[in-house]
């Protein structure tokens, strides 16, 4: 992965879409944070999941592939440098669509979790939307449908214990600004996503899944 992410740290720390949201509340709640609970926040980015988990009393370790995000540990999601069952819970929010091998990453999260894995990500809507995502941000790999997420969980030995689909939204221009999409590409992205843009805001269909370690 190129280190384009390290240059984006401020944008992601300040992003309202990342700092708040029903999806964030759900990810934090489903990790079941508390004073004796340990959680690994994978692809922590601006650190919003970690911050909220710490506020709820959990002991949190952050990991991210980009040094500039200043995680506790620098590592890719598909090679987590932790022993089996090191954390009560593992969280990963709005990042899996960047992973080159998403199944390997889910397997790693399941391996280092003692009990539960909570993953939230944008969901697949169409091939033209995937094209728009790649033009906006060449580090985009793929969004997945809910059925694909179920198969990743099953292959990683996780039982889906809870699931919620929701519609997030984000300011469309701020979304392009975060990835510094060149002026010449913005109109093409807008055309491809036209049906999902309303009053300057882009709809982001999202799923949150909680998996527990299968017996
Ligand atoms: C949109 S940000 C994450 C947002 C954050 N989890 C939150 O809730 O605000 C995406 C993050 O994924 C990280 N990332 C991208 N590819 C990765 C990989 N293969 N392994 C680990 N982290 C990765 C990037 O460095 C970036 O910090």
CB–CB of 110/78 below 8 Å?
Answer: no
Q: Which atom of ligand 1 is nearest to the CA of 49?
A: 8
Write the DSSP string, 109-125.
HHHHEEEEEEEEEEB--
CB–CB of 114/201 below 8 Å?
Answer: no
Query: Which has more confidence, 109 or 15?
Result: 109
Q: Compute the distance between CA of residue 178 and CA of residue 139 in angstroms, rounded to an integer.
A: 13
Reported as a single tens digit per residue, the pLDDT across 20-51 is 999 999 999 999 999 999 999 999 999 999 99
What mean pLDDT do residues 89-108 have? 98
pLDDT at 214: 73
| Domains parsed from the chain with CATH numbers | 3-213 (3.40.50.150)
Question: Does the pLDDT value for residue 78 go beyond 70?
Answer: yes
Share of the chain above pLDDT 90, in %: 90
Residue having the nearest C-alpha atom to atom 9 of ligand 1: 18
What mean pLDDT do residues 80-97 have? 98
pLDDT at 17: 86
Q: Cβ(69) to ligand 1 under 6 A?
A: yes
Q: Across the chain, what does the average pLDDT equal?
A: 95
pLDDT at 118: 98
Residue having the nearest C-alpha atom to atom 2 of ligand 1: 45
Query: Which has more confidence, 75 or 215?
Result: 75
Share of the chain above pLDDT 70, in %: 99
CA of 116 to the centre of ligand 1 (A): 20
What mean pLDDT do residues 75-79 have? 98
pLDDT at 10: 85
- Nearest partner of 49 among 93, 1, 11, 111, judged by Cα: 93
pLDDT at 4: 83
CA of 44 to the centre of ligand 1 (A): 6
Question: Does the pLDDT value for residue 1 go beyond 70?
Answer: no
Q: Compute the distance between CA of residue 32 and CA of residue 144 in angstroms, rounded to an integer.
A: 26
**Residue to probe by mutation, ligand 1, list 18, 19, 47, 65, most atoms within 8 Å of CB:** 65
pLDDT at 7: 79
Residue having the nearest C-alpha atom to atom 3 of ligand 1: 45
CA of 113 to the centre of ligand 1 (A): 19
Tokens linked to 210? 């909680």
Write the DSSP string, 42-73.
ET-TT-HHHHHHHHTT-EEEEEES-GGG--SE
Reported as a single tens digit per residue, the pLDDT across 182-213 is 999 999 999 999 999 999 999 999 999 999 99
pLDDT at 12: 86
This prediction has a pTM of 0.96
Residue having the nearest C-alpha atom to atom 18 of ligand 1: 76
Q: Cβ(175) to ligand 1 under 6 A?
A: no
């Amino acid at each position: 992965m190129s280190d384009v992410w390290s240059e984006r740290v401020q944008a992601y720390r300040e992003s309202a879409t990342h700092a708040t949201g029903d999806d964030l509340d759900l990810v934090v709640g489903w990790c079941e944070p508390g004073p004796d609970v340990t959680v690994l926040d994978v692809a922590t980015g601006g650190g919003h999941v970690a911050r909220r988990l710490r506020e709820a009393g959990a002991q949190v370790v952050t990991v991210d592939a980009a040094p500039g995000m200043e995680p506790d540990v620098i590592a890719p999601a598909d090679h987590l440098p932790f022993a089996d069952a090191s954390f009560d819970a593992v969280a990963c929010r709005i990042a899996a669509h960047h992973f080159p091998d998403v199944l390997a990453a889910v397997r790693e999260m399941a391996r280092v979790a003692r009990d539960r894995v909570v993953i939230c990500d944008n969901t697949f809507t169409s091939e033209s939307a995937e094209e728009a995502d790649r033009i906006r941000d060449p580090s985009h790999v793929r969004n997945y449908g809910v059925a694909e997420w179920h198969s990743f969980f099953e292959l990683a030995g996780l039982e889906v214990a809870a699931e919620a689909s929701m519609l997030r939204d984000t300011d469309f221009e701020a979304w392009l600004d975060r990835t510094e999409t060149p002026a010449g590409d913005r109109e093409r992205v807008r055309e491809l996503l036209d049906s999902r843009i309303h009053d300057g805001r882009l709809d982001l269909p999202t799923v949150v899944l909680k998996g527990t370690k299968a017996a």
